């Protein structure tokens, strides 16, 4: 009998290193249409169970589906953003299987003629860029949602909420190009970011708007042949995806090392137990008896429609990062942080547009603003400080009207009171009001008290200059203009 549990003691790092993981992801993304894909019912999440249903999405006999044009358009947008070829003609197909969450006894999906094929997504892992191929992107309807109550054999109840049934989905299937759990994580992160930027989904994993199944196998490094793959389902967070993959990779290697063979099967991730368990042996595609959906015409996408979708595509995260580095002189790291969401990137650009230098805007946002938002659990859209107000504060600091230290205090007050920086500075007398002669007096005193450091500075130790600046700032209680302090010190020390 093949071994099914990894013998963890035997899978040493040396043994792990002999194998190469091969991973392909199948991601389901709920589209942000207002209504379902084949009827006019609302797709709103969280409504009372079975309140957004009609004869079509309940699969009652004699009803006919009518395709939602917005769903096709969003699928096209996602496809173009993923560098796929959008086909002029695609077709819906019936995928037949019985399950209580599928009232028609089949799911309307796409099979031989999907909306799009042949794309890619570039990801960055450990400083290197990897291109992950995208096999296909197709449209389908979501199933209803099963809710289980109690897991003991005597007290199990299942409820079905058909509100979700008929919500438009795109399924995005990757090539088996992913080589580690980190890469899988990076792929899903990048994919999610693109879906959010293009506005096709809210990608809320807790609400099930983004769902991911992982296919994984291992092979000896250097081998050109793929191993037997296992599909892991129930990965409802990025962390679970990574943990499940790590677990499976070790399990596969453990089985192979002990002379066993892997079964092609579907497994479920059990977060509480930290392991996967077998669910069913993998159905073959023909078990679904796919055939063209007779109730729907093929989808015709004119070149003009496709071009229109392409034209309306917003700037994507990767392009935006590159542009931020090139036009605002910020580091690739900063650009990565500031383009994490479209709203954050828009905010950054608004700060710059209001007059701040890119570098200063990037620093203030990362050190002060993001920390504050993080602490209060707020998104950038709910920032208590507007982009324009932040730019005003930055201008006060950069022009030397207030010191950086005072600037930080002013920022805090802005967050708490919503008042403008200029207002706070004048009301509280925070301007850098230390006269040049007072700065000079302070500088002379610091210099006379620190002959050792003066000697060091004179012998070429530039680093010690910071010490003098710090001491003078301290003596002036952080209210001196730092630029003046610098100038005075240079003069006195030369
Ligand atoms: P199936 O017919 O079982 O659905 P597919 O060929 O359609 O298999 O592939 C489904 C997913 O599995 C894709 O994301 C693909 O990249 C991935 N995949 C295929 N073969 C392997 C393999 N040997 N190891 C890991 N992933 C694989
Ligand atoms: Zn309906
Ligand atoms: Mg498949």
Q: Is the dihedral of CA 335, 340, 342, 347 positive or negative?
A: negative
Q: Please indicate, yes or no, if residue 235 is contained in any of the structural domains.
A: yes
- Which of 138, 229, 232 has most ligand 1 atoms within 8 Å of CB, for mutation? 229
Instruction: Label residue 154 by pLDDT band (50, 70, 90).
Output: low
The residue whose two tokens read 């002990």 is: 258
Higher pLDDT, 126 or 246: 246
Domain boundary among 304, 329, 362: 304
Q: Please indicate, yes or no, if residue 1 is contained in any of the structural domains.
A: no
Q: In terms of domains, do 125 and 273 share one?
A: yes
Nearest-CA residue for atom 11 of ligand 1: 24
Pick the range with the lowest mean pLDDT from 104-108, 145-149, 279-283, 444-448: 279-283
Average pLDDT, the chain: 92
| 172 CA distance to ligand 3 middle (Å) | 10
Q: Please indicate, yes or no, if residue 2 is contained in any of the structural domains.
A: no
Q: The whole model's pTM is what?
A: 0.85
pLDDT at 251: 97
Count how many domains the chain has: 3
Q: In terms of domains, do 165 and 92 share one?
A: yes
The residue among 261, 331, 359 whose CA lies nearest residue 2 is: 261
Q: Residue 299 to residues 59, 107, 138: CA-CA distances in angstroms?
A: 22, 17, 12
Q: In terms of domains, do 89 and 151 share one?
A: yes
The long-range contacts involving 340-347, CB below 8 angstroms and separated by at least 24 positions, are 340/193, 341/193, 341/196, 341/379, 341/380, 342/196, 342/197, 342/314, 343/379, 343/380, 343/381, 344/380, 345/320, 347/380, 347/383, 347/387
pLDDT (mean) for 205-210: 95
pLDDT at 483: 78
Domain limits for position 478: 436-493
Nearest-CA residue for atom 19 of ligand 1: 176
Q: In terms of domains, do 252 and 285 share one?
A: yes
Q: In terms of domains, do 193 and 117 share one?
A: yes
Q: In terms of domains, do 290 and 206 share one?
A: yes
Q: In terms of domains, do 77 and 196 share one?
A: yes
- Write the CB contacts of 382 (distance below 8 Å, at least 6 apart in sequence): 373
Q: In terms of domains, do 168 and 290 share one?
A: yes
pLDDT at 188: 98
Q: In terms of domains, do 262 and 341 share one?
A: no
218 lines ligand 1 (CB under 6 A): no
pLDDT cut 70: percent of the chain above it: 96
pLDDT cut 90: percent of the chain above it: 81
Q: In terms of domains, do 424 and 444 share one?
A: no
Q: Please indicate, yes or no, if residue 207 is contained in any of the structural domains.
A: yes
| 173 CA distance to ligand 3 middle (Å) | 8
Q: In terms of domains, do 138 and 216 share one?
A: yes
pLDDT at 1: 41
Q: In terms of domains, do 237 and 282 share one?
A: yes
């Amino acid at each position: 009998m093949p071994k099914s549990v990894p013998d963890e003691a035997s899978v040493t790092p040396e043994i792990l290193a002999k194998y190469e993981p091969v991973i392909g992801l199948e991601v389901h993304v709920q589209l942000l249409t207002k209504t379902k894909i084949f009827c006019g019912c609302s797709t709103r999440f969280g409504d009372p169970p079975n309140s957004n249903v009609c004869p079509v999405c309940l699969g009652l006999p004699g009803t006919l589906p009518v395709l939602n044009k917005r769903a096709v358009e969003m699928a096209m947008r996602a496809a173009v953003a993923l560098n796929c070829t959008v086909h002029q003609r695609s077709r819906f197909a019936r995928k037949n299987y019985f399950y209580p969450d599928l009232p028609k006894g089949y799911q309307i999906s796409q099979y031989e003629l999907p909306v799009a094929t042949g794309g890619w997504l570039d990801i960055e892992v450990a400083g290197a860029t990897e291109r992950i191929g995208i096999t296909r992107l197709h449209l389908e309807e979501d199933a209803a949602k099963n809710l289980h109550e109690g897991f003991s054999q005597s007290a199990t109840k299942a409820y079905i909420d058909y509100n979700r049934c008929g919500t438009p989905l795109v399924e995005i299937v990757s090539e088996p190009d992913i080589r580690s759990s980190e890469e899988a994580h990076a792929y899903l992160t990048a994919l999610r970011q693109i879906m959010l930027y293009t506005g096709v989904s809210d990608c809320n994993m807790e609400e099930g708007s983004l769902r991911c199944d992982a296919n994984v196998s291992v092979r000896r490094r250097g081998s050109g042949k793929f191993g037997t793959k296992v599909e892991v389902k129930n990965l409802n967070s990025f962390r679970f995806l990574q943990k499940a993959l790590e677990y499976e990779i070790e399990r596969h290697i453990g089985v192979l090392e002990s002379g066993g063979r892997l079964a092609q099967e579907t497994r479920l991730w059990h977060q509480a137990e930290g392991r996967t368990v077998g669910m069913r042996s993998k159905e073959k595609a023909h078990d679904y008896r796919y055939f063209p959906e007779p109730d729907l015409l093929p989808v015709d996408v004119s070149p003009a429609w496709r071009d229109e979708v392409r034209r309306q595509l917003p700037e994507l995260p990767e392009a935006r990062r590159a542009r931020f580095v090139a036009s605002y002189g910020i580091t690739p790291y900063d650009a990565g942080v500031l383009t994490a969401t479209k709203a954050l990137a828009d905010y950054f650009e608004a700060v710059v547009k209001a007059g701040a230098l890119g570098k200063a805007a990037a620093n203030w946002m990362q050190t002060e603003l993001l920390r504050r938002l993080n602490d209060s659990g707020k998104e950038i859209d709910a920032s208590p400080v507007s982009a324009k107000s932040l730019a005003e504060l930055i201008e006060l600091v950069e022009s030397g009207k207030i010191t950086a230290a005072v600037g930080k205090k002013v920022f805090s007050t802005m967050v708490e009171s919503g008042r403008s920086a200029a207002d706070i500075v004048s009301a509280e007398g925070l301007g850098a009001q230390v006269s040049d002669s007072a700065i000079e007096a302070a500088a002379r005193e610091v210099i006379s008290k620190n002959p050792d450091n003066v000697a060091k500075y004179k012998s070429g130790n530039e680093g010690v200059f910071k010490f003098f600046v710090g001491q003078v700032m301290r003596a002036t209680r952080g209210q001196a203009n730092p630029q003046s302090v610098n100038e005075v010190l240079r003069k006195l020390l030369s």
